Each structure stands twice: as C-alpha cells, then as structure tokens.
Amino acid sequence: MPEIDTKIEPVPEKKFYLETFGCQMNVHDSEKVIGTLINEGYAQVDTVEAADLVLYNTCSIRDKAEQKVFNRLSDYKKYQKQGKKFGVLGCVAQQEGEKIFERAPYVSLVAGSASYRNLPQMLVQLEAGNNRVTGLDDRQTDQTFDTEFTARTNKHRGYITIIEGCDKFCAYCVVPYTRGKERSRTSQSVLAEAKRMADSGYTDIQLLGQNVNSFKDPSGELTFAGLLLAVAQVPGIRRVRFTTSHPRDFTRDIVEAIESEPRLCDHVHLPVQSGSSRLLKAMLREYTREQYLERISWMKAAKRHISISTDIIVGFPGETIEDFEQTITLLEEVQFDAVFAFKYSARPNTSAIRMPDSIPEEEKSKRLAVLLERQRQIQSTNYQRHLGEVAQVMIEGRNEARGQMLGRHSQNKTVNFTTSALIQPAVGSYVDVRITKALPNSLVGEMVI
C-alpha cells in the first residue's frame, strides 16, 4: 500500500504596508490597525513592493489632503497588475466615501475610522475577491475602536484614546463629519488599558481625543480631571499627558489636578485659533477672548509652572487687520511656549466653505510669517528661563552624529544632552539633566551624575 504524503505545506504569510498621514489620533489608530492585521495573520513590511495589501490611513484637516492621497495612489497604480490590493482608511475615506472607487478603480477597500473594529470581516471579503469593500458610518455611530491587539511603535511611551468624534462643529473643521459624534469610553476600560500598558513597561501615557477634555464617563464614575488623577495613580506610570483640549470644556479642576499630582505633566495644549472675539464667534468656537484668557489665568496662577501651547489659524474669511493684531497681542499676553499656526483653507462640508475666502493667499502668507517671527522671539525668551535648571528627562534615543542623548522634558520640550563615558542610560529611563543652553525649539544640557 503506497504511503500517503501527510506533509502540510506552510500557508504563505500575507503581507501589508501601511502609511499614516496626520495627527496623533491617526498615528494611534494605525497602531491599532496594525495590531488587528497581525492578529489576523498578516505581517507588516516596510515597502509597497513587498506588500500584498497597501493601506493609507489618511487625514483631511488640511487643504488638498485628499489630492495628496490620490496622487500617492496614482504613483502605485503600476503595482495593480501584480495582484496587490489597495485600501484607503481614515478621514479622507469617510469624507470621500465610494467616490474613491470611481477616482481610483484599483482601490478595493474604503473604511472610516469608526469601522476599524470590523476590519477582520472586511479582510475576509477582500480575500474572497471582493473589490469594493466599504466600512463607512454616519455621524450617529456609537462605535469606538478599542482593541487588545494594538501594535505600539514605542516601548516606553504610548497613547490611549479616551474619546472619539466631535460635536463642536467649528466653522472651518471637517472632523465632526469624518469622525462622527463624541463618544467616550468608560473610565474602567481606560484604566484597564493603562494598567496593561504599565504591566508591559510603559511609563509615559498620553490620553487622546479630538476634544480630550470633553470626556464624559458613560458609567458616571469619573470626571476628566478625576480620570487624569486615576491614570496617574496606576503603579508603574510616571508621566501622564493629554491632548487636545477644547477651551469651552477646560475646567478649573484640570489645573487643580496638575497642581496636586506630579505625575501629571506640566504642559497643556489649548488651541485658541484667533485672538479676536469677533472672529471666534464667526468660527463658532463657543468662547470669547476673555474666556480663553480666564483659563490661561488659572494656569498662570498654579503652584507649578505649566507650559502652554496652542493652535492658530490666520486668514479666516473676514479676518481684518485689527482681528489679526488682536491675535498678536494675545501672543504677547499669554507667552506661549509653542504655537502651531496655519493658513486657513476651505474644507468640504464645513459652514465656512460658504463664506467668501476674502483674504488673498499672499496676505495670508504675510500674516503667518509675522505671527511666526513674533512667536519665535517669545519662545526664545521662554526657553532661556530653563538655563541652570535641573530637569528630569525621559530618554527617547541617541543622536550619534552629535554624541548626545535625546529626551523629553515633562513640559514636552526636546532636550539634547551629554552623558558620562562611563554611564550610558537606556532608552526609556529617566535621568536628571542640567540645562546649559537654550535653542529656539529645544534645550541642551548635561546629565547630572
């Protein structure tokens, strides 16, 4: 009787390539997508050429974001004949929907961020030969993307999304239309994830949300400030950060929490967008200049020095020279440690798209340059105040070219520093550094032995 060959041929490993555009929320979403794909038997590769499935996790906050995605897809159209499948994820996917299939027929998957928990089912459809797989949600979705399969890219510092979506409907912003309504996780699930991360060696946790301080615990147990304190008390966690806050929901108890708990980092990112109350009203920001400055006064009066950063838009429709000058005076009054400033660009579905874009592009560029130069001067002065300070720094890497270690201050400032030839601390460890020099965007120092 002939022998039966019982040898089982190994199943070829499926490979994927993922490129991420945009904010920290997108970066963390990609970590969760990667973890889900790996759990489904896929292996991540570093090039399009090596992949069977090519994914783009997209952002639509800035002008022409969707065009950048289509340009990138067009670059790789040549690979379609090799049997590769392409997918568009994230905000552009939700914004453009099935129109993506018309503009790029070689795309097989279009999925918004609220549908990522259904990725395993979508992958089954792709593998079965379906060339038009969609995962799109309306604004009313209650879905959040919680997963135990997150493939975190940093072994020591990690993100936890505590709230998704946005209900603010600022006139210029597309996020409420691409991310859906605000929906918070329970405080228990957030704390459980924080504990898992701490048990795995993570010491620096950043809580994320489009409006992170709009968090409302579905179980009613904790306020946002209470959640900050609870995460900080998880054994093993040494630093807790959060971003991005909305001024309307920025309450005094958040400042009191930072004051009382050293493990809460002394940095707040609080976008203002404009220093003009008239323009803030046109932007539908739901606060005035005076109300914003009241929140700043709470932080300025705190027992700990709290570093403050912000976002600003220049050239919003109808912005007069007087409006712009009020933004400059706001810079002077607040003395931000960092400003992320952008020229206004019309976005699909937003109410501002119906306003005449009355500021010429040349004038927008001029105003942006003026603002950034003034902020550079303020920031240079602010950073000088750290000279002689001994700061605790978490090490993130090494700059071999300069022979320096690279780390991060609790105020989210980059610190480059030298160490002893006999002592080479590990990435992820915390060391004391004496600041000896201040540059416009970073600090320089030497490790205290």
- Euclidean distance between CA atoms 89 and 427, whole angstroms: 32
- CATH class, domain 154-265, is alpha beta
Tokens 């008390």, located at residue:
233
User: Which CATH code of 3.90.1150.10, 3.40.190.10, 3.40.50.12160, 3.30.300.30 fits the domain covering 14-135?
Assistant: 3.40.50.12160
List, for residues 116-148, the tens digit of each pLDDT value: 888 999 999 999 999 899 998 777 777 666 766
- Domain 390-447 annotated CATH 1.10.10.10: no
Structural domain boundaries of the chain? 14-135, 154-265, 293-384, 390-447
Q: pLDDT digit string (tens) for 194-225?
A: 999 999 999 999 999 999 999 999 999 999 99
Please state, in angstroms and as integers, the Cα–Cα distance from residue 393 to each residue in 268, 285, 418, 445, following that order: 18, 35, 12, 10
pLDDT beyond 70 at 374:
yes
Strands 133-135, 107-111: pairing kind: parallel
Domains 154-265 and 293-384 share a fold: yes
- Whether pLDDT at 81 is above 80: no
**Residue 421 pLDDT exceeds 80:** no
| Least confident interval from 39-48, 57-66, 409-418 | 57-66
Q: Which long-range contacts (CB under 8 A, 24 or more apart) does 401-410 make?
A: 405/447, 407/431, 407/433, 409/443, 410/239, 410/265, 410/266, 410/267
- How far is it, in rounded angstroms, from Cα 243 to Cα 215? 12
Question: CATH top-level class for 293-384?
Answer: alpha beta
